[in-house]
């Protein structure tokens, strides 16, 4: 099922909310927004253009472990510039492969150069779990004789 299901299905289910900051945003303020929105990463946009992503991992490795001050440090100093993207037509399998191969947990969704959403590893796993539950329910109904003919 994940071979044919697209990112668009996940976006329709979870919504297309995009939480972002600018490169000039203080790291502390970015962390507060992550906590407020209960997300692990924020897209970094400059004049509407995707220029990077900043995550809890970036904070842990580039600020906390180095004893830097998040209240004076700008996001531009710790963001990850290499951002891997997908389209709404990308399959769940393609997302899983890209996340695994590139060791990332978030994939911005871009169409025609425009940012239209973001999917996380949690979104993908939630979708897979729901799809498997639906398949199990259908098989149980079929075995019990309740499956429509």
pLDDT (tens digit, 9 = 90+) per residue, 22-74?
999 999 999 999 999 999 999 999 998 999 999 999 999 999 999 999 999 99
Domain ranges of the chain: 7-143
CA distances 88 to 10, 62, 81, 106, 115, Å, are 9, 32, 22, 14, 11
R_g (Cα) of the chain, nearest Å? 18
Which are the contacts of 116, defined by CB distance < 8 A and separation ≥ 6? 11, 16, 88, 109, 110
8 A C-beta contact, residue 118 and residue 11: no
Q: What is the pLDDT of residues 72-127, one digit of tens each?
A: 999 999 999 999 999 999 999 999 999 999 999 999 999 988 999 999 999 999 88
Class for the domain spanning 7-143: alpha beta
């Amino acid at each position: 099922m994940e071979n044919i299901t697209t990112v668009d299905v996940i976006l329709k289910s979870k919504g297309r909310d995009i939480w972002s900051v600018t490169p000039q945003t203080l790291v502390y303020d970015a962390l507060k927004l992550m906590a407020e929105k209960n997300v692990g990463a924020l897209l970094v946009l400059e004049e509407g253009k995707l220029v990077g992503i900043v995550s809890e991992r970036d904070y842990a490795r580039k600020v906390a472990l180095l004893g830097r001050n998040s209240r004076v440090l700008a996001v531009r100093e710790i963001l990850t510039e290499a951002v891997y993207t997908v389209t709404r037509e990308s399959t769940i399998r393609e997302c899983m492969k890209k996340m695994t191969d590139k060791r990332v947990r978030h994939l911005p969704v871009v169409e025609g150069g425009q940012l239209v959403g973001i999917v996380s590893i949690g979104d993908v796993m939630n979708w897979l779990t729901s799809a498997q539950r639906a398949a199990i329910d259908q098989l149980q109904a079929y075995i019990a004789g309740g499956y429509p003919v």
